[in-house]
Chains A and B, each alone.
Chain A
Amino acid sequence: MTSRPAILPERGLADRLTATFWRHPRLLLAVLLAPPLLWLGVVYLGSLSALLLQSFFSIDEFSGVVKQELTLKTYAELVRAQNLDIILRTLLMAALVTVASAIIAFPIAYYAARFARGRWKAVFYLGVMLPLWSSYLVKVYAWKLILAREGIVTWFADHIGAGPLMARALEEQWFGGSSLSTSPVGTFIVFVYIWMPYMILPMQAALERVPGSMLEASADLGATRAQTFRTVIFPLALPGIVAGSIFTFSLTLGDYIIPQIIGNSARFIGLAVYQFQGTAGNLPLAAAFAVVPIVIMLIYLAIAKRMGAFDAL
């Protein structure tokens, strides 16, 4: 028995490396972190700096060439009436979409958190995850089919005798267009459809943390359902709602595909960025426009953090 060694011999490179990392645990950490940090640091942060830099360049009014010297001229252009219009319209749309998403998402999240068990829990989970992860373009496309003038919504409205009512509504300038698929309300519906699922999961997570006993206590104390909702459930779910709203708000803010395909070609921030960098060839203004949602989101995140939304993520 005593012939067995107490210390085993080193067998090759893998053993030697193991010993080195054992002696210097920080070295292993550095080796693990170096490639991803280099990638994200160079590719992503580098690009963000380039974006910021680009927004301080300007475009030569005559030649249309980007002048690579720092100036605030492009930002001055940003606050012109037509551009401010775009920003305000986008903010309004993002806010409306967020509120509508919260209203539609709540029953799903509440049911999934409080009543769904076992098999049903999985059904709800997949029922939310699959649309969320399904192809974005396919989902947008589906709504183009639905909202088309000759599409299923018109057909349905005609069948229940609401056809004239819808035609009348579409004539309202703020509401309609030649059809739902070219109306602002169409843009709004599709935004809600695409980004609403992102609201459900954080909301459900927050609701799951509300102890059932607390609701029973509220009912015991004589609260009606509405009172329990207003005074107990809603305040406790609020961090989750705010957390979810980060996604719906941010994603609506930057989207440029939906307004391009469905709507009355009113411009949103994303669309402006896309058009300025593309057809207009005005990279500096496009970059300045892209900085707007960053600033808005930073403010939004600061408020959300104060409301405790990050604990609900």
Chain B
Amino acid sequence: MPSERASTGLKIAAGLGLAFLHLPILLIFLYAFTTEEKSYAFPPPGLTLQWFGVAWNRADIWPPLWLSLQVAGLATLIAMILGTLVAAAMAQSRFFGRDQISLLILLPIALPGVITGMALRSAFSVMDIPFSVWTIILGHATFCIVIVYNNAVARFRRLHGGIMEASADLGANGWQTFRHVLLPNLGSALLAGGMLAFALSFDEVIVTTFTAGQQTTLPIWMLSELVRPRQRPVTNVVAIVVFAVTFLPILAAYYLTRDGDHTAGAGK
């Protein structure tokens, strides 16, 4: 195979494809520095740093940011516990109903978000549950389980089953095996899964609009700015923050799982 070289046409097509994926994001950065606040004029008439200060002092940005962090943190925590439990059960043995369970975990992310959102909204309506932080978390945790699960199950599969037996053989009880053998070997995969879940939850908007009621998470704040723009460069500053808060965990997750299980994101 190495004898064959990629044709120039293929190289150009692949390169253009990747450029198509990456270049648009760069514009977000550029427009955060523009002096023009009423339109998206290109090229920007001038460059300024003032919008970072303006964004910092805008009182309407902080509560949504805080709410988003809270929701993402708690949803991630729940998803990590539940996702790890399922992965452990799936790794432990083959049992009746295994395929059905993996389908059930995958479903919230395989079906369009509008369905998950509308389903939760219907349930809240049928059962008269008022909207709160918890209704948001409920939805987020549900679709984050699969992210943690995918990472954990891939690591379980790679994990040498013998070391768990070796631990028991040497006198460790189940708790000691979990703490001294399983957790250190599973840790980085769980961390990666948690980071991806956090990134996913932090920037989620499709399900959230159905479960938030009047509450505003940062993506919902952004969405309203997109529909009715006010100070456009401020939206860009917030977009950069959102981008950074999701980008860094994704990069970290990649480095945590890169030797071997390339599953980061396979299920998003």
Contact = CB atoms under 8 A, between A and B. Distances in A.
A139 B24 contact: yes
Contact of A107 (B14, B83, B88, B125): B14
Contacts, number: 279
Interface residues of A, number: 99
B206 A257 contact: yes
Interface stretch (A79-87, A166-174, A285-293): A285-293
B115 A293 contact: yes
Contacts of A107: 10, 13-14, 17
A131 interface: yes
A130 B247 contact: yes
B174 A21 contact: yes
Interface residues of B, number: 96
B79 to A, nearest CB: 10
Contact of A111 (B6, B40, B222, B243): B6
For chain A, what secondary structure do more than half of its interface residues adopt (helix, strand, loop), or is it mixed? helix
A151 interface: yes
Contacts of B31: 145
Contacts of A96: none
Interface in A83-108: 104-105, 107-108
B217 to A, nearest CB: 11
A234 interface: no
A202 B43 CA distance: 38
A146 B10 contact: no
The 3 lowest CB-CB distance pairs between A and B, nearest first, are A254-B112, A212-B1, A107-B13
Interface of A: 8, 14-15, 17-18, 21, 25, 28-29, 32-33, 35-37, 39-41, 43-48, 50-51, 53-54, 66, 104-105, 107-108, 110-112, 114-115, 122, 124-146, 148, 150-152, 154-155, 193, 196-198, 201, 212-213, 215-216, 225, 246, 250-251, 253-257, 260-261, 269-270, 273-274, 277, 283, 286-287, 290, 293-294, 297
Interface of B: 1, 4-7, 10-11, 13-14, 17-18, 20-22, 24-25, 27-28, 31, 39-43, 78, 81-83, 85-86, 88-89, 92-93, 95, 101, 104-105, 107-108, 110-116, 118-123, 125-127, 138, 141-142, 145, 168, 171, 173-176, 196, 199-200, 203-206, 209-210, 219, 222-223, 226-227, 235-236, 239, 242-243, 246-247, 250-251, 254, 258, 262, 264-266, 268
22 contacts: A15-B173, A32-B89, A35-B82, A36-B145, A51-B123, A107-B13, A115-B10, A129-B254, A132-B265, A133-B199, A134-B243, A134-B247, A134-B250, A135-B203, A138-B239, A140-B226, A197-B21, A213-B1, A250-B112, A261-B226, A290-B115, A294-B115
